[in-house]
Structure 1
Amino acid sequence: MATEEEGPAAQTGRAVLSLATDVGGAAVLAARLARRMVPPRLDGPELWRNLYRMGVRSLPIVGVTALFTGGIMVIQAGVLIRRFGAEGLLGWGAGFTTLREVGPILIALMFSGRVGANNTAELATMTVTEQIDALETLAIDPLSYLILPRVLSMVVMLFVLTVYGDVLALLGAAFMGDALLGVSTATFWNGLLDAIRVWDLATGLIKSALFGGVIALSSSHYGLSVSGGAPGVGRAVNASVVASATGIFVCDYLATYILQ
């Protein structure tokens, strides 16, 4: 912990070392999980349970968010659409923005706040109450039994939720475009299908898989490395959410640059 006597240089150095420790810890965790994937060593029932609670239970909040996001994009675009008479571009603009950027990022941030934070809290609680140590005492590998199913579930379900959210966002945009701007749904979908390429959809889905990995590794790392008892659980959850959000934007920048 930093003291009052430490200067800016010492505090900066401490922050850099802490960042390096966390990034390195997440990388080591990823390597250890990769070793357990060949051949696959994970608990099947635990995988299905996590797929349900992380994915299916996230459908309502993702659906509502996506629908309103599509409507908001149309409202924001309405001024330019009316000014330049570019009704035919509404579908292209909404589709390009949703599929490549807004959909993957927004759904990933929602997923991080709901699923990632919950994962960190559960693992941190198990760590401070020595349940992780108890599993090792019983010759049960915590990474294969607990962590690997959660990581795979987050990657898979964020991918699925992104597809689901993209569809609903475009439906919301088409409906609001017809209701507010008088752009028919036929014009909207024709503009979208004429201009959007398969690669635009693939780019967003690749990003969603990367974001799922970032959230899974970040939340699991902070949950397993917690210290300080019960107060440490809250600090771990906060650090996990911040790290996940930061990682999402960093990965988005790199993926956008590479996949453009």
Structure 2
Amino acid sequence: MPQNVLVTGASSGIGRATAELFHAKGWNVVATMRNPSAETELTGRERLLVTRLDVTDHASITSAVAEAEEHFGPVDVLVNNAGFAVLGPLESVPVQAIERQFATNVTGLLAVTKAVLPRFRTRRSGVVVNVSSLAGKVAFPLGSLYVASKHAVEGVSESLSFELRAIGARMKIIEPGGVESDFGHRSSEVNHDEELTEYGPLLEKVVAGLKAGTGAEGAPASGVARAVFDAATDGTDRLRYVVGEDAEQAIAHRAGADDAEYLAQVNAQFGL
């Protein structure tokens, strides 16, 4: 029988590509998003349920998981993909944006995971795939909040891997670098108080560098989706999957460099 996957943040980018790939592979797919009424292409396909799930709305999480089980049965694979980036000098970022960053990227991920664990435990099977980032292993200027949230995803996932193993399930972490999607525009916000002129030159250089890294030169979202599918189905206890040459190089360099070498490399990368 087809297995069942639930994907958060499936309206675009990695989430959408992941939902489409699992569907093409014969899976039952629950493609969740904050505004499903705006979705037209996925709606109505056989073996594909489009439904609302806002990771910051716990009632919507409960409802989406229940609807998934009603349509297809218990979730076999959860793909925690929903997320966004708050960028800019910390001094410029409103406290509400700080809270929203962690509510989405960390607390929301934990809440969705928590919602599927009872069935994982009773069935003694299941896979959680958390979409982290290169930013989960390597920091960059003006990314303190996003970097912190993705570092948290890494730590959460690694710790939870022991709990999942105890109930017969598995944890997987996907670490993409730059991705050829609209993430840099649709799923990020840049905060900058123009009166804080001291940050201006840094902001200009970093934003230019980040746009270059998430534009046409990035890995296709379909490539990240392939890594998600492979991780979910390879049947191994492997924890991390790095996606993209930029991520491979940066993570390897960080692992082999001391702090001075690493900071010098980042400064050179952004022309600082």
Q: TM-score, normalised by structure 2?
A: 0.29
Q: Could you say which structure has the greater relative contact order, defined with CA pairs below 8 angstroms and 6 or more residues apart?
A: 1
Larger Cα Rg: Structure 1 or Structure 2? 1
Q: TM-score, normalised by structure 1?
A: 0.30
The structure richer in strand per residue is 2
